[in-house]
């Protein structure tokens, strides 16, 4: 699944959990759960993989920035607002983390996770081409709308 969708689902988890540590841990678990569901993938070659990965990485960072701005803006001043912000950030970070191994290995020459984790991560993928609109975009819209609604509701309390 696109890392952008992991970021958005992590925002949903953070806004629902309201506490950073559970949001972070559930975010990590959600990554593996979502990767087992049918999603877009199975690239023709490395070049296509990189094109998608770079665009997706940038979109994921943009999504993090937009969600962070929204939760900071929506949050009441004081500790409840700060806790919601921290929970949403922790949810997004946890949910995106399993996908950081590849860019870290390519850019820094350093693998973040043990081989066993990366093998499991690779084995659980349920990928097929032609699922961008039907799966990834639909999921992105669902996660973004849910995150926005939760953040608005939590912040209103
Ligand atoms: Zn993944």
What is the whole-number distance in angstroms between the Cα of residue 80 and the centre of ligand 1? 31
Residue 100 φ then ψ, to 5°: -80, -10
Return d(Cα 155, Cα 92) in angstroms, integer. Answer: 18
What is the whole-number distance in angstroms between the Cα of residue 102 and the centre of ligand 1? 10
What is the whole-number distance in angstroms between the Cα of residue 69 and the centre of ligand 1? 25
Task: Write out the two tokens for 145.
Answer: 């709308």
- Give the residue numbers spanning the domain of 103: 3-156
Instruction: Give 128-154 pLDDT, tens digit per residue.
Output: 999 999 999 999 999 999 999 999 987
pLDDT of residue 157 exceeding 80, the answer is no
What is the whole-number distance in angstroms between the Cα of residue 98 and the centre of ligand 1? 6
Q: Name the 3-class secondary structure at 80.
A: helix
| pLDDT number for residue 75 | 72
What is the whole-number distance in angstroms between the Cα of residue 3 and the centre of ligand 1? 7
Instruction: Give 62-118 pLDDT, tens digit per residue.
Output: 999 999 999 998 876 777 788 999 999 999 999 999 999 999 998 999 999 999 999
Instruction: Give 18-77 pLDDT, tens digit per residue.
Output: 999 999 999 999 999 999 999 999 999 999 999 999 999 999 999 999 999 999 988 767
How many domains are there within the chain?
1
What is the whole-number distance in angstroms between the Cα of residue 79 and the centre of ligand 1? 33
């Amino acid at each position: 699944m696109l890392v952008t969708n992991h970021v958005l689902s992590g925002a949903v988890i953070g806004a629902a959990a309201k506490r950073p540590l559970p949001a972070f841990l559930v975010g990590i678990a959600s990554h593996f759960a979502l990767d087992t569901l049918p999603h877009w993938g199975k690239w023709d070659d490395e070049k296509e993989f990189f094109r998608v990965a770079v665009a997706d990485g940038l979109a994921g960072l943009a999504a993090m920035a937009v969600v962070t701005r929204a939760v900071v803006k929506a949050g009441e001043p004081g500790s409840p607002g700060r806790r919601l912000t921290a929970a949403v950030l922790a949810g997004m970070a946890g949910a995106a983390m399993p996908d950081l191994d590849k860019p870290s290995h390519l850019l820094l020459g350093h693998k973040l996770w043990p081989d066993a984790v990366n093998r499991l991560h690779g084995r659980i993928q349920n990928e097929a081409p032609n699922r961008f609109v039907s799966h990834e975009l639909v999921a992105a819209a669902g996660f973004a709308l849910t995150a926005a609604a939760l953040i608005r509701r939590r912040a209103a309390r």
